Chain A
Amino acid sequence: MLNRIPRIASLSLAVLAVAVGGCASNGDGGSGDSKSLTIYSGRDKEYVEPLIESFKRANPKMAVEVRYGDSAELAATIREEGDRTPAGIFFSQDAGALGALGKEGLLKQLPTSILDRVPSAYRSPQGDWVGTSGRVRVLGYDSRVLKADQLPQSVFDLTDPKWRGKVGWAPTNASFQAFVTAMRMTDGEEKTKKWLEGMKANDTHSYEKNSIIRDAIADGEIEVGLINHYYVLEAIKEGKANGATYPVKILFFPGGDVGTMINVAGIGIPKSSTQQAAAEAFISFVLADPQQKYFADEVGEYPLVKGIAQDPSLPPLESIQQPDKLDLADLADLQGTQKLLQETGVL
């Protein structure tokens, strides 16, 4: 009975080999000339594709390919690929994934001509990645019921009984969790825990995502909510209301309050990439004025290059103070944050 099993096995293997070999294509991921560029993008296709299209127009001879995925998973992939990675560029949704690769020494040093385009707060201190655009955490509020002088001065004020049942947040949202991580860095575990408990005790409403918080404010369901700065612009652009009459306005907490932290999307070049010239050309392109303006106008994010204006309704980037003691690359420690959110019963 047993003696025929090896034969069956070898037959199957042969069939498998034929089946697989038959549909083999020439999958060369990373050819070494400067005329091709492979991008691993953790940023959404919707925002990256227009950039790629115009980059291709500017470099008609270059073959540009993009693999889209989750930032952290792509970072893990680059690490597993090691010195054979086909990726010439890693375009990450947040600084954490870049910081993680940087810490393992898997990113190339960038030339100062690129680094100097962006203020030092928004790039790697070691010079191996650079921010390309920023998102700011803000407080959305209902301007029909709240005047400017009634607004809180710090995110920590929201635990005050006078905000009871009037605040919205999105505990499962990645931006929110990055903000809580930042709070743990700047104000410590204890204070963050107390704040979370205070917010929960204050009957803060939980929502699935930022855009729903915004709509809940517009519907008068809550008065204020913790969101990203661009959601109000987005609502106006989508035609939910025109700018003047839209009731939701945003507040930037003053004085380096962690409630107004800035997180960035950024780019790095994998250490063993063979596409350095093309990759540097791409980064320079993304940091050039027209593309920075694209982030401002089409994505609603803050351009990081000086002199490129964000929407006139928003304060300039220079006027927003990033909290002290905040290293963007450390925002990767989401695990501790999620644990804290669970301990406090927020999640």
Chain B
Amino acid sequence: MPIFYLFVVILDEPAAAWQAIWRPATLSLLLRSLALAVAVGFTATAVAVPLAWLTGRSDLPWRRGWTVLSVLPLVIPSYIGAYLFVSAFGPRGELQKLLGVDQLPSLYGFVGAWIVLTLFTFPLVLLPVRAAMRRLDPTLEDAARGMGRSQFEVARSVILPQLIPAIGAGALLVSLYALSDFGAVSILRFDSFTQVIYQSYRSSFDRTAAAGLAGVLVLVLFVLLAAERRVRARRSYHRIGPGSARITEDVALGRWRWPAVAFCTVVALLSFVMPVGMLIFWSTQSIAGDIDWSQVTTAAANSVLLAGLTAAVAVVAALPVAWLGARAPGRLSRVVDGLTTSGYALPGIVVALAMVFVGIRLVPALYQSLPMTVIAMVIICLPLAVTSTRSAVLQIPPRLEEAARSSGRSPLAVLATVGIPLTRIGILAGAALVFVAAIKELPIVVLLSPIGFDTLPLVIWQQSSRSFFESGAIPALMLIAVTAPGVWLLVGRQR
């Protein structure tokens, strides 16, 4: 739907759109944004894979706690994370006061955006990787060790290759997030594609230019998708032996125990403990202002309702897409993938305006109603559910389904009795991911929700735009608190 809208707008004034795109500045903008997306994808993987292994497969002390902590950064919206980061490490920030120095190296621009986006998105890689690690068949590792390979060689040659689809899917989500993020890059003053698209709307009211640039972004998306597909291309990741896999065993860390704990501590401190600590500190200050508690609690209920509905619808919608992608990879699935992912990769404002344009013409009765808001949210969040479900589907041996089919069950019955139960964890994880993402969403709610339907991000935005960001601290904490059940679902169900 967003792509259709972009077509309409661009075709309305093709010359102007072409003019907006065909500039040297566009190329450098594109390269910068791509560089950010790829860099964030790599660092998020570099943080997430060791963390996933430590919390998933090792005898790390307090593993349960680290497991939860490692996912919690997802509940912090990037705009809040970026603001907190600047307040802590930026000019005139807390760290500068603490050290009493005049100046710190500037963190605005690429580096700041890179660090912040990595910190608050790496769980998107960690979750699928950890889930995949736990579904691995340990006999493969045993066999490799039996042939005299060292632990390291086993990790490199046996474990890592099996994790590739999960890493690829997670890194793709992170990269696309970095590509479409507006909050963090605007606060950190990094001129990304999204930033410029927003500016076209906000300051020059130029929708043609914005649509042209968004169109380029869609092309970039297809390139990234192709790259990810190449990574996981044409291999099988399911067991072929009879019986079912043994439960994996934990690896003893030995003398690496405490360095591992230190690593986890640093990541947890930067990505969750410090931001939340600062929010708590601010909320105790007078500038937190007088909070209208009934407004905040209503907004919290609305947020949960909206994110819950979005998660439910997204999971159902994701099933066929995921199955198609896993079982029948081909041109059809590639197109479907591209279309469903575009909503996630495009800036929120573009999707919101697309829904305005299409919604009011197609289903005026539903315009600015809750169902339409949910649909728009699903468009934005669908890939989160799809990737999670798909990597689970990939690990089911197709023979199981074939066996069920040959015993005379209908395809639907096979899905209900074999497919869904076996991918249950993947589906639930997808639902939780969608929930966590949807609850943070702002532009869709601003433009499409029923009037008066306040959500927490809306309240945070209103509170902080009027004077101080700090006055949004209490609703921000509330947002983190109500997202926690989603996180619990994400980690609680993983054995």
Contact = CB atoms under 8 A, between A and B. Distances in A.
A23 B370 contact: yes
Contacts of A97: 205
A7 B412 contact: yes
Contact of A65 (B364, B451, B465): B451
B311 to A, nearest CB: 11
B379 to A, nearest CB: 12
Interface of B, secondary structure class, is helix
Interface string A10-24: 011001100111011
B207 A5 contact: no
Interface stretch (B50-58, B215-223, B269-277, B319-327): B319-327
Interface in A36-79: 38, 44-46, 65-70, 72-77, 79
A333 B356 contact: no
A303 B255 CA distance: 72
Contacts of A335: 199-200, 203-204
B309 interface: yes
Interface of A: 1-5, 7-9, 11-12, 15-16, 19-21, 23-29, 38, 44-46, 65-70, 72-77, 79-82, 84-86, 96-97, 100, 172, 206, 211, 332-335, 337-338, 342, 347
Nearest to A9: B320
Contacts of B466: 44-46
Contacts of A24: 366, 369-371
A65 B368 CA distance: 13
B14 interface: no
Contacts of A86: 367-368
B189 interface: yes
Contacts of B313: 16, 19-20
Contacts of B199: 334-335, 338
A8 B411 contact: yes
B327 to A, nearest CB: 6
Given A12-B316, A333-B203, A23 B447 contact: no
A299 B462 CA distance: 16
Contact of A72 (B201, B361, B398): B201
A19 B312 contact: yes
Interface of B: 91, 189, 191, 199-205, 207, 309, 312-313, 316-317, 319-320, 323-324, 327-328, 349, 353, 356-357, 360-361, 364-372, 374-375, 398, 411-412, 414-415, 443, 446-447, 450-452, 458, 462, 465-468
B203 A27 contact: no
Nearest to B200: A335
A178 B34 CA distance: 31
A8 B368 contact: no
A17 B224 CA distance: 31
B461 to A, nearest CB: 9
Given A25-B450, A46-B466, A68-B462, A16 B317 contact: yes
Nearest to B330: A2
B411 A23 contact: no
A24 B365 CA distance: 10
A66 B412 CA distance: 46
A76 B320 contact: no
B204 A20 contact: no
A81 B451 CA distance: 16
B452 A65 contact: yes
Contacts of B91: 206
A73 B443 CA distance: 9
A19 B458 CA distance: 25
A24 B207 CA distance: 31
Given A11-B412, A27-B368, A46-B462, 16 more contacts: A5-B320, A15-B316, A19-B313, A20-B313, A24-B370, A28-B365, A46-B466, A65-B451, A67-B451, A70-B446, A72-B203, A74-B447, A79-B207, A84-B367, A211-B468, A337-B203
Given A1-B327, A65-B452, A77 B317 contact: no
Nearest to A3: B411
Given A2-B328, A8-B323, A334-B199, A27 B204 contact: no
B205 A72 contact: yes
B462 A45 contact: yes
Given A72-B202, A334-B203, A27 B372 contact: yes
**Leading 3 A-B pairs by shortest Cβ distance:** A27-B369, A334-B203, A4-B411
